[in-house]
Each structure stands twice: as C-alpha cells, then as structure tokens.
Structure 1
Amino acid sequence: MEQPPRSTYQDDEVSLVDLAKILIRRRWWLIGTSVIVFLLAVMSTLLLQDGALYQYTSIYQQAEKKPSIPLNDSESLVQQVENLYWPNYQRSYKEENNVSVLPFDLEVSNPGNTILITLRSIAEEEVQGQVISLHEAILNSVVLHDENSLEKLKFKLEGNIELTSTLMERVESGDSYTAVEMAVNYADRLFKLESELDDLAKGEVLEYAVSGDVLEPTLSSSMIIVLGIIFGGVAGVIAAFFVEFVVRVRGSMKLDVIRSE
C-alpha cells in the first residue's frame, strides 16, 4: 500500500507553537470575547445587588378545641389557603393593578406537630407594603374561618349544657334509684360539656409579615466574578480557534475554486 508523502504528515501536525501563533493572530477575538463575558458577569452582580430580596413571615396559632388540638384540621386549612384564598387574591391583584405577574409569592405551611400556620413571602423591600396587605388579607380569611367554626361549636355546646341542666333538674327531685342514676349521668355529661367549652381557645396571630435578613443569592458576587474570568478566558480561546477555522475553510474553498478553473 502506497504511503502518502512525508510532507503531508508534517502539514497535518499542529504543534504548541502553531496554537500560540493562532492565539496571537486572533488575539482581538480572544480579548474581545473574554471582556464581553467578564462584563456580563459584572452586570449580573450589579443586578443582584440592586434587587435584594427579603423574606416576610407571618405565624398564626389556630383556634383550639383542646390544648394543642386545632379546631380545624391544619392540613385542610393549608389547602384552603392555597386553593381558595391565595388564588382569589392573585386574581383581584392582577385586575386592580393590570399586571400578569405578582411581585411577590406566598408559601403556606404547617410545621410538623404544631397548630401553627406559617405564611412566607419573598419580595423586594420596595413592595413590603403590598406583602403586608397580602398577609393581612389571608390572615383575616383564616381567622374569620376559625372564628365561625369556634362560634358554631360554642353555640352547640352551650345549647347542650342548657338542655342537660334542664333534664338534670327534672330528675333531681325524684327519690327512685333510676332518678338518682340519671341525675349522676346528667351531672357527668354536664361536667364534660362544660370542660369542652372551657377548653375552647381563639386563634392568635403571633407574627405579622416580619421581615427577615436579606436572602443571599445562590452564587455570591465574588464567585460570579471568578466564574466570569474563567468562562471568559475559555470562551475567548474557543472564539479565536473558531475564527481561525472559518478563515482556513474559506481559504481552502477559494483554493479549490481556483484549481478547478
């Protein structure tokens, strides 16, 4: 099998000197691309500093039917906020302000083994007043829901207490064994009903849109600058070699055209 001329091998070989020559020849592409990427990184850090985000937290302690036992199921209340109160607020806000996206969000949770409902929003400081209005509207709905449930249960217990007291008074005048037994049962039931009534507790807002520390971005400014320098250098080298590749391909195509003529 015939071997190609040695000069062909030499033409195909690329040494470090050749690579250095390419980078020197295309140095403006190398420098320009690196500077552009670096400037983009700097602009990103400036934008992150201008738009500092804060976390606003509200905490509501639910109404209780017994100590540490919520009147309404905590998970059900969270779902009600997420699927009813919050969507309604978003719709009203968009209509009133003629916007498609709200400048804040809302996260609702019930920390495990507690009767607390937590509202969290992340937003810029300039919309703090709007975040407070949001939390106020949501908390008012939650409190009203709890108060209505509490009043219904309280009314029911008071009615049962009144009825039980009346029945107990009727049988207390009797001397028979049955009358005495019924009076004891009514007294026991009356005690339980009054205990249930005494255990009822209203809900309470413990924290109201309290502003926390500034939320740090995932990447710090210094890290973004370092990555900008690294990626800028890599992008500059790639750009220099790519331009050299394009120039050589065009030159080769022109040479082929000349030879064909």
Structure 2
Amino acid sequence: MSNEADVRPDDEIDLVDLARALIRRRWVIIGTFLVCTLGAAFYAFSQERVYAFTTSIELGEFGPQEYVASASGTKNTIEARILLSAKRAYLKERNLESMPFDVSVSSAQESSFVNLVTEAPLDQQETVAEFHDRVYKRLRDEHQSRLTILEDESDAKLKNLRESLKAEQRRMKVLEGLSVNSTEQAGNGETEAQALAGEDVRATLSSSDAALTLLLSQLQLNERISEREERINEIQSNLREEQTRRSWIKPTRAEDLAIASLSPVGTSRALILVLGALLGGMLGVFMAFFVEFAARVREAGTAS
C-alpha cells in the first residue's frame, strides 16, 4: 500500500512545477515570440500591396430583356477561347514566357454583366486595363456580328409590315368606296320604288328585290370592312412592337476598364502580425518545455 502511495504522485502533472519551468525558460519564450513576430512583420510589410482590378462588360441587347448571349455562356466563351487567344497574343507581342498577372471571369446568375477581375499591384493598373480592353473588344466584335444579323432581320420584318399595312389600307379605301356607292344606290332604289309603287305592282316587287340585294351587299361590305380594320390594327400593333425592339438594339459595351478596389485584397498586414504573434507564443511555450526537458535529461545522465 505504501509503495502505491509513493508512485501515484509521480504520475500526476504538477502545475506548479510547469509554471516554474516556464518562468525559468522565460527568455526562450520571449525570444521565440519576438523572432516569430518580427518575421511576420517583415513578411507583411515586404509584400507588395495587391488590388483587385475589375472591368464590367454589359452584354448587348436586341429587345427588352433579350440579350445577344447569356452571362454564363459569355463567361464560358471568354474562358475557353477569347482569354486564351488574348494571352497568346499578349505574350508574343511582349516576348514574355508567362503572364505577369492572371484574369478571372465572373458572372451573376440571370445577370446582363460579365466581370473581368485581375489581382495585381497598383502600378500595373494601366497594363491590366490594356489587356482587359483587348479581351473586351474581341467579345464586342463577336457579339456585334450577331447583332448585325438581328438588325438586318428586323429591318426586313419592318419593311414587310409597312408594305402589308399600305396594301391593307388601299383595300380598306376600296371597300369604303364600295360601301358609299352601295348606300347611294340603296337610297336611289327606294326613291324609284316609291315613284313606281302607284303604277305597277310588278315594278314594286322588282324594286324591293333590288333593295334587298343592295342591303345584303351592304352587310357583306361592312363585314369585310370590319375584318380589314382588325387586320390593320394587328399589323400596326406588330409594327410598333418591332419598332420598339429595333430601337432597343444596343452593342456589348464596357464603360470603365480595370477599376481598382478601394482597399488592397488578400491577407491583411494586421492579420499576418496577429497570426505571427500567436504562432510565436505557442512555439515559445513548446521550445521552453523542450529546453527544460533536455536540461533534465542531461542532469539525469550526469547524476547517473
């Protein structure tokens, strides 16, 4: 029983002993902390500040909420084809082996904008803007060819609608003229019927048949006139709609190139300093225990 009591305290961690060891090795902790903190400070302030340069490209339109291409499709086109071609031309012109910066493409879902984003130092803004402009112009030219086709199709449709409207209006005038003539004939027929009514019953019956025929003809003319009016209204509605669509055609455009972010991007200097201080503190405690352990091992070896 007494042996077990003597052994148990040796297996427990003595917090007071640990505190004494940390106090004895405080200079190891302080030194390690200062080295890590100063190293983090040197790294943080030696890094060049990097900003995000953004170029927003608004997709071309050929009608309200009708775009020459979707934002996601445009993003894929830029990444798979236009960006690669632009990089090759850029490297060849400047005789470089690799790009000094990278370009990413982003687009929000159901949006009419595609963004070119580059992270680079502030002194490279002009170079980034030049490259963004190169990518934008290639996309704009590709979209413009599609818009030209849509413009030609819209112009042809407008021409056909105007010609159809003129033709329907000419037919309408003819029908209106026939209607006026039919009304006049019906009035003359009634006058003749009244004049002949007292002379001959047969003439009266004949005049009544003629009046009935004119009346039926008038009804048919009115029906055809109504149909023409509906057709004219329909053509005019289609014409206004197509004119609105045609006037809405806008090319793909970018107002500003490589707009710099208000503050640097990436890990901030303050965060690097905090992380360095935390790492220095933890590493300092570890080094203090390691030095204390090594010292005790030497003492045990010397005593033996």
Q: TM-score range by the shorter chain?
A: 0.7 to 0.9
CA 1:193 to 1:90, structure 2 compared with 1: closer, same or farther past 3 Å?
Answer: same
State the SS of the aligned residue for 1:35: helix
Q: TM-score, normalised by structure 2?
A: 0.64
Does residue 243 (structure 1) correspond to residue 294 (structure 2)? The answer is no
Does residue 153 (structure 1) correspond to residue 150 (structure 2)? The answer is yes
Give yes or no for contact 1:30–1:240 (8 Å, CA) kept in 2. yes
Does residue 213 (structure 1) correspond to residue 211 (structure 2)? The answer is no
More strand by share: 1
* 2:36 corresponding residue in structure 1: 37
1:174-253 alignment runs, 5 A limit: 175=174, 184=232, 189-215=238-264, 217-221=266-270, 223-249=271-297, 252=300
Code of the residue aligned with 2:63 in structure 1: it is K
| Deviation readout 1:176-198 (Å, 9 max, x if unpaired) | 75996898366665554444323
| Deviation readout 1:221-248 (Å, 9 max, x if unpaired) | 2x54444344323321210111222343
1:59 to 53, 56, 59: 56
CA 1:247 to 1:164, structure 2 compared with 1: closer, same or farther past 3 Å?
Answer: same
| Deviation readout 1:142-201 (Å, 9 max, x if unpaired) | 211221111001112223334455566667666575996898366665554444323323
* 2:194 corresponding residue in structure 1: none
| Distance (whole Å) between structure 2 residues aligned to residue 77 and residue 57 of structure 1 | 16
| Distance (whole Å) between structure 2 residues aligned to residue 21 and residue 181 of structure 1 | 105
Give yes or no for contact 1:172–1:183 (8 Å, CA) kept in 2. no
Code of the residue aligned with 1:103 in structure 2: it is F
* Percent of matched pairs sharing the same residue: 22
More helix by share: 2
* 2:3 corresponding residue in structure 1: 3
The offset of 1:64, in angstroms, is 1.7
The offset of 1:68, in angstroms, is 4.2
* 1:105 corresponding residue in structure 2: 103
| Distance (whole Å) between structure 1 residues aligned to residue 277 and residue 71 of structure 2 | 50
Give yes or no for contact 1:68–1:114 (8 Å, CA) kept in 2. no
CA 1:4 to 1:59, structure 2 compared with 1: closer, same or farther past 3 Å?
Answer: closer
CA 1:25 to 1:171, structure 2 compared with 1: closer, same or farther past 3 Å?
Answer: closer
Q: TM-score, normalised by structure 1?
A: 0.73
| Distance (whole Å) between structure 2 residues aligned to residue 181 and residue 76 of structure 1 | 44
The offset of 1:36, in angstroms, is 1.6
Q: How many residues align?
A: 250
Give yes or no for contact 1:82–1:108 (8 Å, CA) kept in 2. no
* 2:197 corresponding residue in structure 1: none
State the SS of the aligned residue for 1:200: coil
The offset of 1:39, in angstroms, is 1.5
| Distance (whole Å) between structure 2 residues aligned to residue 137 and residue 182 of structure 1 | 52
CA 1:27 to 1:165, structure 2 compared with 1: closer, same or farther past 3 Å?
Answer: closer
| Deviation readout 1:108-161 (Å, 9 max, x if unpaired) | 224x66533333322211221221122101211221122111100111222333
Moved more, 165-174 or 114-123: 165-174
Instruction: Point out where structure 1 has 5 or more consecutive residues left out of the alignment.
Output: none
